[in-house]
Amino acid sequence: LMKVEKRLKKYAKVFSDLKHQLFLQYISPVWQATLNLMGHSENPEQLTGEVMSQEKMINICLENKRERSLIEIYHICSWLAYLFGNYELASRMIENRKQFDLYLGPCFLLSNIWFFDGMVALAACHTLKTDKWMGVAQKSLVQMEKCASVCPLNYKHRFLLLQAELAFLLEENENAEVSYNDAIKTADENGFVQDQALAYERAGYFYMKQGKTSIASQHFGLSHNAYLDWGAQSKANQLRLFCPF
């Protein structure tokens, strides 16, 4: 994340020097999210801080009908809310995003949206005790399976993690354990430390539910270390506060 932040800062200076305010606004949500994860924000769930104000940016985009930017902002907001355990906010941000045509986004953005929509939907089914998100979860699994078949290096671990979460929800514990382990291993092999951290964390919650506190603690600790390797200090701190390891 430190490398990403440095590069975004460099791009921002170029855009600012050239007075390209529109391009500066395009990179601001990702830049602010990066800073949030690194620990440079009072509220990591909100895209408000050193780079931008979430409310102000949304209003600007609404006034100028920048639907692509609104899709990105609401997606990043749902992603951050999910990472920090605010599943109600994450689901609300998805609802806000759904008013816009999703196919306005590039492939890498769409795949990110499909994956985290599924993760949020399954978490909502778990914690909010509602089945209305199951359809979203099933759609995400279908889309991520297609992504994994086309480019397994980038997407197989994410598809496996969605499978693990669904098995966890359906209490198919043996399948869940296998899929969590496969997701962790595949993310590691393909260099996705941020997704490996998430897979360790979700597996920790799975083992806690089974009463296997020792294994859960190990997974939370490994997740914490992986988040630190990624550079997400604020997420690592949150995990240390709320998860036993």
> Mean per-residue pLDDT for 157-176?
98
Task: Calculate the average pLDDT of the chain.
Answer: 94
Is 90:81 a contact under the CB 8 Å cutoff?
yes
Q: For residues 66 and 69, give the distance between their C-alpha atoms in angstroms, rounded to a whole number.
A: 6
Say which amino acid occupies 40. Answer: H
Give the pair of three-digit tokens for residue 61.
Answer: 């985009």
Query: Beta-carbon neighbour count of residue 35 at 10 Å?
Result: 22
Does residue 174 have a pLDDT over 90? yes
- Whether residue 108 has pLDDT greater than 90: no
pLDDT in tens, 217-234: 999 999 999 999 999 999
The verdict on pTM exceeding 0.85 is: yes
Using alpha carbons only, how large is the chain's radius of gyration in Å?
Answer: 18
